[in-house]
Amino acid sequence: MANFNDHKRSSTKEEGALISSNALSDPTSDLEIFAKEVLNALIMENLPPTPNNFSLYFDRILDDKSDGLRRQIGAILELEEGNGDEKNIGLERTLKQGFSSIKSILQLTATLYKNMTLMEKILDKRKDEMKNTPSIAVAGDLLASLSGDVGKLGNILKKQVSHMKELYNETAAVVRQVENETIFDDQYGVYNKRYLIAKLTQESQLIEEFRHKSSLIMVQLSTTTLSQITGEKAKGLMMRTVARLLLKTSRRSDTVAHYGEGIFAMMLKHTDMESAKRAADRLYDLVSGTNFFLGENEIQLRIAIGVAEISPSQTIENTLTCTLDAMEKANNEKKFHYVICNG
């Protein structure tokens, strides 16, 4: 196998010169030329051009380029990747704060338990003393002493309980904050609405920058199918099946998410409208081939599908609304499997 550094100095000399000469031109063209150089390096090294290998050589070769080109390509990558690291750091800090509060609650609970145990021992001791008390006067003194002991411990317990309440409120706030940062829907095993909107916003910016085509599909069980289901458990099972079939038909670059109330979405990156239509047809056929048995009744799943093109000229809210409207119209559509957004 050829030495990697020798290869960079020889076989990519022409490509490197071309990139340098275009360093101040179209950033998209510069990225395309650089990507070809990375691919050539993989071929020369007899390595399969898998995503991992490409990413590794991409970073290695980029390190030897000019500062201008690195900044140029870095800006493009930043647009594509977003600020995931910063969000992860913030979430990690929040979680550590939550763990710290939980640790404090556990320590305080242990102290409370010790104090309650001490209270029981004092009461047992005073009971034994009362049994051997020769006079009422001495018994009165014992009761007064017991009252003082209980009062002291009571004040300590009140302060500890108050502190525990504060720690609980802090922990609850952390849990709410973490929930607000989550990107996954546990119920259906796909991304949630928050993540979908973030990815749509990011994709719209990428389309404006690179002029490619991407599409959005939104899906829900048809009203005909839902009318045959009476139990919430059965309805949830069918919705999870739709989510699973969406994942099955999706590509690695697609984003499958639960939009809410049993409505699912799939963002199709680098997919024009014709390809999105074919994807909708495949999804419809796949779901229609899935039957459920509820008691003695067999239910054939049917879905309503809305399809739209993601365009920087439209806000994400408008795109989502238009796609949802198309999906609703598809409920009454018998000739076609989907309805196209006309927004």
For 169, the token pair is 């409120």
| Same domain, residue pair 288 and 330 | yes
Q: Which two tokens stand for residue 219?
A: 């899906």
pLDDT at 87: 62
Residues 198 and 330 in one domain: yes
The residue among 47, 81, 115 that closes a domain is 81
Q: What is the pLDDT of residues 268-286, one digit of tens each?
A: 999 999 999 999 999 999 9
| Same domain assignment for residues 108 and 51 | no
Q: Return the pLDDT at 17.
A: 40
Query: Among 300, 217, 205, 307, which residue's Cα sits nearest to residue 266?
Result: 217
Cα–Cα distance for residue pair 15/13, rounded to 1 Å? 6
| pLDDT at site 86 | 57
7-21, 35-49, 95-109, 281-295: least confidently modelled range: 7-21
Confidence at residue 217, expressed as pLDDT on a 0 to 100 scale = 98
Most trustworthy range by pLDDT among 16-20, 139-143, 268-272: 268-272
Among 18-27, 34-43, 85-94, 308-317, the range of highest mean pLDDT: 308-317
The pLDDT value given to residue 336 = 87
Checking if the pLDDT of 14 tops 60, the result is no
Answer yes or no: is pLDDT of 266 > 80.
yes
| 160-214 residue pLDDT tens | 888 888 888 888 887 777 777 888 998 999 999 999 999 999 999 999 988 899 9
Q: What is residue 91's predicted lDDT score, i.e. its pLDDT?
A: 65
* Lowest model confidence (mean pLDDT) among 87-101, 147-161, 176-190: 87-101
Q: Judge contact between 279 and 272, C-beta under 8 A.
A: no
Q: What is the pLDDT of residue 201?
A: 95
pLDDT of residue 19: 40
Higher pLDDT among residues 119 and 314, named by residue: 314
Confidence of residue 28 (pLDDT cuts 50, 70, 90): low
What is the domain range of residue 161?
A: 87-181
Please tell me whether residues 268 and 302 are part of one structural domain. Answer: yes
pLDDT digits (tens, 9 = 90+) for 224-241: 899 988 889 999 999 999
Question: Does residue 208 share a domain with residue 156?
Answer: no
Are residue 325 and residue 233 in the same domain, yes or no?
yes
- 299's enclosing H/E stretch is strand 297-300
The DSSP result for 141-168, as a single string, is HHHHHHHHHHHHHHHHHHHHHHHHHHHH
Rounded to 5°, the CA angle 250-251-256 comes to 45
pLDDT at 314: 96
Residue 166 belongs to a domain with what CATH number?
1.10.287
**Tokens matching residue 329:** 């119209």
Residue 334 dihedral angles phi and psi, to the nearest 5°: -110, -25
Work out how many domains the chain is built from and give that number.
Answer: 3
Coil, strand or helix at 338:
coil
Q: Which residue is listed with tokens 């550590």? A: 96
Residues forming a β-bridge with 100: none
Torsion of CA 305, 306, 307, 309, to 10 degrees: -160
- Which contacts of 100-103 are long-range, i.e. CB under 8 A and separated by 24 or more positions? 101/167, 101/170, 101/171, 101/174, 102/171
Among 50, 81, 112, the domain boundary falls at 81
- Same domain (yes/no): 270, 194: yes
Helix H or strand E encompassing 339: strand 339-340
DSSP string, 23-37: TTS-HHHHHHHHHHH
Does residue 334 share a domain with residue 224?
yes
The reply to whether 255 and 165 lie within a common domain is no
Are 167 and 293 found together in one domain?
no
pLDDT at 293: 80
The answer to whether residues 288 and 163 belong to one domain is: no
Using the predicted structure, report yes or no on whether residue 259 has a pLDDT greater than 50: yes
Show the tokens assigned to 148: 């003082």
Query: Residue 219 maps to which CATH number?
Result: 3.30.70.270
- Residue ending a domain, choose from 60, 81, 102: 81
Would you give the end-to-end CA distance of the chain in angstroms?
A: 55
> Any idea what the Cα angle at residue 155 is, between residues 154 and 161, rounded to 5°?
85
Q: Are residues 71 and 104 in the same domain?
A: no
Helix (H) or strand (E) holding 324, with range, is: helix 316-330
H/E element, 303: strand 303-309
| Nearest CA among 307, 255, 302 for reference residue 278 | 307
Q: In this structure, what are the phi and psi dihedrals at residue 217, rounded to the nearest 5 degrees?
A: -120, 135
